[in-house]
Amino acid sequence: CTKCFPAVSISTKNYQRILEHNACHILFDKSFLPSDQPCGLCLRPFPMCKLTFLKSSGTAAARQIDWDNSSCLNPVKFQMAAAMKSSEKSPCTNYAFLCPLQCGLLVWTYTLEAHFRSSTHGLKSLANLPVYYKMAEMEFERMQVIWNNRHNQPVPRTMKNLKGKVARALAISDAHRSIMALR
């Protein structure tokens, strides 16, 4: 992550970890203002980063982001249905969806309130709105733990043989090395 110091390594193969880590920045990093409505993938503020959906008649969980017409610098393909569900191992539910007030913009769940209060809608009070998204307390607590432990990198696992001992390097005789074929 380019925003973390010291740097935090995040696997680009696991989209849920990217969403989770960036969501932690949105929730807990004091350098990010909710009013900036940062993108959940690249952390750039709106309108520098704008996402659009592909034209689809499917459910919200099946929608896909149209990367050709989006300005996100971190185009990570992810499954919306999986991002919508919180679990013990993957608590984050920060995902993009169409604004329920029909302004046509994609908003992230963790910045929805800021979007409602922004110049797009300019709402001073959200009391008259139905609850579109409310983070569960358990999700918030788990995200806090992830944020607090972000610099604790896991120790790589070693290869072990069946007896539980560390595997030794395979010994290859000089006669069987590939260098012999090049002579």
DSSP line for 75-105:
-----HHHHT---SS------EEE-TT--S-
Tens of pLDDT along 11-24?
878 888 889 999 99
Structure confidence at residue 91 as a pLDDT band (50, 70, 90)? very high
pTM: 0.75
- Residue range 162-166: average pLDDT? 54
Contact 126, 134 (CB under 8 A): no
- Give the per-residue pLDDT at 34: 83
- Give the per-residue pLDDT at 44: 93
- Give the per-residue pLDDT at 135: 86
Using a pLDDT cut of 90, give the percent of the chain over it.
Answer: 27
- Residue range 62-69: average pLDDT? 85
Mean pLDDT of the chain: 82
